[in-house]
Structure 1
Amino acid sequence: MTSDFDIAKITEAFAAAAIDSSRWNSVMEMVSVETGSLGALMFPNRGALPYVPACESILPTFDFYVRNGWIDRDERLRGVSLMIERGAVTDLDFVSPDEIRKSGYYQDFLARCGLHGFAGVRVGKGDNVWALSIQRSAAQDLFSPSELRSLARLAQNLDSIAATASALAFTRGEGALAAFDVTQKAALLLNRRGDVVRVNQAAEQLFGEDVFISHKRLFSRSQTASAELNAAIKSLLWAEDASSAPSIIFPRQDRLPLLVYAIRCPGLCESALSSFHALVVIVDPEQRSLPTARTLQAGFDLTQAEARLAVALGSGSDLHTEALKLGVSPETMRKHLKSIFAKTGVRRQSELVATLAALLSEQNPI
């Protein structure tokens, strides 16, 4: 086993994934190969788990880890603070060999899954820390001190990558908030824990006794409505395939009630290392709505033609129909669609429709 890894190659791959979130799983595959390990995956230090980059070889073990409750009995969590401090750790940095022999986590879970040693590598700083967990099998060597020093150097490189990824995602979130301001719609960005991390001007104008933020959470004057929203956000963040939740009514005294929607937008929120993962949109029925195409242009930097196509697709139309309607070739429509995919961060038309459904449906007041 080599005493060092190609840190530059791994860093470069992380930098590419920070810009293109579709690459995260392939980065985990590359890390596994470069470190001579069984597999690799990346955990958030805090928050929900659906967005976990992982290589294919480790997915069955990860499923067993979650499904059988080992996620709540993970003894490696004891090493998180040390990993944050040092940059990289392995099991023997925080548990003794005797503890490992007696531990159900190590013997009934890890050994049963054919795993032996691991290295935990810090990715990021502050409130947005992830752990790059590199797993080795019982047939492979434990991580050596020199390998851990190499991984600690990698952690230093990844700090700036994580900051860049977070900044890029946050910039896109700011654009989305600004777009909702254009349509006079209140919107809030949530992180993976469901905390409010950003609020637009339209939302601030609604705050008062009827709707307010407390301890980083959005609340209604109605305890029932507040509980419904909290449950919807939790379900949205933990459900891998969900893109939106049913509307929730926030009552107001002597005024029409507000309609509150929790939305998860893949193009904005499903990037690892992102500082936010969902949107809450508050619709005031007493306010006049502006065209949704303007929202898409401002929020996703779409051209006018692309925004019109996105609105049409979200409303149930198709490329052929829109091409005939506008008198252009299907190839032109496909080019527009490809550009929309790139700007919104989705890869298929079904994903685009799911992402925009809550914003574009004629039945949805958003």
Structure 2
Amino acid sequence: MRVDAELLSQALDRVQTAVFEPSLWLPTIEAIGRASGALGANIMEPAGRGAFGAALSTENLDGLLEGYVREDWGTRDFRAQLLPPLLRAGVVLEANYVSREQFDHHEYYKFMRKYGVGDSVLMNISSATDELYFVLQNSVAEDSPQPDDMPHFHAIRTRLQTALQLAQHIDASRVMGMAAAFETSNIGCIFFNRKGLVTLTNPKADALFTGDLRISRGEVRAFSAAETARFNRELKIAIQAPGQSIDALSAVRLSRPGKRPLIARFERFGTHLADVFSHSCAMALIEDPDEDVQLKPETLMALFDLTPAETRISLLVASGMSAVDIACRHGIGYETVRSHIRSIFRKTDTGRQSELSALFGRIRL
């Protein structure tokens, strides 16, 4: 395994572009692997005490990673012993820490050889909020990575670590903008990273999550253990199902003493390729059935081109009042009310009171 310095320089030049176009991360990682002379490359992350998972990998490692998960090597990865020197040095060559005897006879390396993988180069690309390791997997048929290529490996590590921090900062700004927009709409929202941990809440959500219904250590704690388990199960489905619409995901009830339960609905945004470098990848929108939604007249006027008079009458119709009631209580001629209602139905593309009520019920601005 020897690095091609010119190809590596070209591959690293693509990293900055991938920060702003997440779909380019996988081909960029593949280019870095090829330039390094590696069989493949992947990004690993801790999945619990002593366990690891693959966050992103090149396609030629798919078979290896499927076997890795199937045989549960994530909980007994021999390379876990390399973490202390990796955290100190930033980059380690596996061959410097594993004996020839271990390479030849340990069950872990026998497993790796089945997929043509020998030793590796490990790089710590962790940020302040994410623990991640970039791994160049060497072919078993190639010589071990050489110490004189260490400057190249450090260059890869520095570029990826900087990109990770920048990408997360950019994505955090986007998420904060979304949270502010939901706050303006009086909607509570909670954002989560790919591990299911809370990354951000808006003030509306903070006001709803009090007492026994709370967020503790990055996790939502419901009134009961059963509701907490249901919440986490649906959140996991949302995180693991890219492209799935919010309508396909179940709503979760969150009980509150003395009040009707809150309703949490999950939505995923982004793609798996971007998740490794993202601040958040899913959110829960929180509805409070006890809260009356106060539609702003200017919103209806802007959305449906209603006149001020039509706007006032549309709100009365949506609340359940009949044309007769509106005419009597507000001193408007009955035929005038009927004319306004016909215009309202036409402009809102509805045909009866229930449809108008349902439409207005979906507007939160």
Q: Determine if the TM-score, normalized by the shorter chain, exceeds 0.5.
A: yes
**What is the CA–CA distance in structure 1 between the aligned matches of 2:163 and 2:294, rounded to whole Å?**
38
**Residue 5 to residue 84, structure 1, CA distance change in 2 (3 Å):** farther
Q: What is the SS of the residue equivalent to 1:266?
A: coil
Q: Decide which of 126, 133, 136 is 1:134's aligned counterpart.
A: 136
Matches within 5 A, 1:232-251: 232-239=234-241, 242=244, 244=246, 245-251=249-255
| Compared CA separation, residues 143 and 284, structure 1 to 2 (3 A) | same
Does residue 96 of the first structure (1) align with residue 75 of the second (2)? Answer: no
- Residue 173 of structure 1 is aligned with which of 172, 175, 186? 175
Structure 2 CA distance for partners of 1:79 and 1:241, relative to 1, 3 Å: farther
Flag the 1:50–1:87 CA change in 2: closer, same or farther, 3 A: closer
- Once the two structures are superposed, residues 113-167 of structure 1 have per-residue CA deviations (whole angstroms, 9 ceiling, x without a partner) of 1111211122232331322211121222211111233202321233221110110
- Give the 3 Å change call, closer, same or farther, for CA 257–162 of structure 1 in structure 2: same
- State the distance in 2 between where 1:58 and 1:166 align: 26
TM-score, length of structure 1 as denominator length = 0.72
Question: What is the TM-score when the length of structure 2 is the normalising length?
Answer: 0.73
Letter in 2 for 1:249: R
Matches within 5 A, 1:343-354: none
Please list the CA deviations of residues 238-271 of structure 1 after superposition, one character each: whole Å capped at 9, or x if unmatched: 4566555311101122222100123221269943
Matched with 1:41 is 42
Whether contact under 8 Å (2:125, 2:161) holds in the other structure is yes
Are positions 1:57 and 2:60 aligned together? yes
Distance change >3 Å, CA 50–CA 237, structure 1 → 2: farther
Q: Is 1:73 the counterpart of 2:76 in the alignment? A: yes
Deviation at 1:101, TM superposition (A): 2.4
Give the 3 Å change call, closer, same or farther, for CA 89–67 of structure 1 in structure 2.
Answer: same
For 1:176-199, what per-residue CA distance to the aligned partner results, in whole angstroms no more than 9, with x for missing partners? 111211211111111222221211
Stretches of structure 2 that go unaligned for 5 or more consecutive residues are: 296-302, 304-358
Alpha-carbon contact 1:122-1:155 (below 8 Å) kept? yes
* Shift in Å, 1:22: 0.4
Alpha-carbon offset, residue 111 of structure 1: 0.9
2:151 is aligned, of 131, 149, 152, to: 149
What does the per-residue CA deviation read over 1:297-329, in whole Å, with 9 as the maximum and x for residues that have no partner? Answer: xxxxxxx9xxxxxxxxxxxxxxxxxxxxxxxxx
Q: In 1, distance between residues paired with 2:291 and 2:99?
A: 63
Task: Tell me what 2:221 maps to.
Answer: 219
> Structure 1: which amino acid aligns with 2:225?
Q
- 1:275 deviates by 2.7
Question: Is the Cα contact below 8 Å between 1:50 and 1:240 reproduced in 2?
Answer: no
Superposition deviation, residue 365 in structure 1: 9.7
- Tell me which residue corresponds to 2:325: none
Task: Give the equivalent residue in structure 2 for 1:5.
Answer: 5
Determine whether 1:113 maps to 2:127.
no
Cα displacement (A) at 1:289: 5.0
Deviation of the 1:35 alpha carbon: 0.8
Distance 1:243 1:155, change over 3 A: farther
- Alpha carbons 1:124, 1:160 under 8 Å: kept: no
> Given that residues 22 and 273 in structure 2 are in contact (C-alpha distance below 8 angstroms), is that contact kept between their aligned partners in structure 1?
no
Tell me the distance in 1 between the aligned counterparts of 2:241 and 2:255.
27
Structure having the higher Rg: 2
Higher relative contact order (CA 8 A, sep 6+): 1
Letter in 1 for 2:251: S
Letter in 2 for 1:15: Q
Identity across matched positions, percent: 22
Classify the secondary structure of the residue corresponding to 2:265.
strand
Counterpart residue number, 2:256: 252
CA RMSD, aligned part only? 3.3
Residue 21 of structure 1, CA deviation: 0.9
Aligned equivalents of 2:113, 2:185: Cα separation in 1: 56
Q: Evaluate the alpha carbon distance shift between residue 364 and residue 117 of structure 1 in structure 2; reply closer, same or farther with a 3 A threshold.
A: farther
Q: In structure 2, do the counterparts of structure 1 residues 279 and 51 end up closer, same or farther at CA, with 3 Å as the change threshold?
A: farther
TM-superposed CA distance for 1:206, in Å, is 0.9
Query: Which residue of structure 1 lines up, in the alignment, with residue 316 of structure 2?
Result: none
Correspondences of 1:269-284 after superposition (within 5 Å): 270-284=274-288
CA contact (8 A) 1:183 1:290 kept: no
CA contact (8 A) 1:261 1:280 kept: yes
Classify 1:50/1:363 alpha carbon distance in 2 versus 1 (closer, same or farther; 3 Å).
Answer: farther
Matched to 2:5, the amino acid is: F
Change (3 A) 1:285 1:220: same
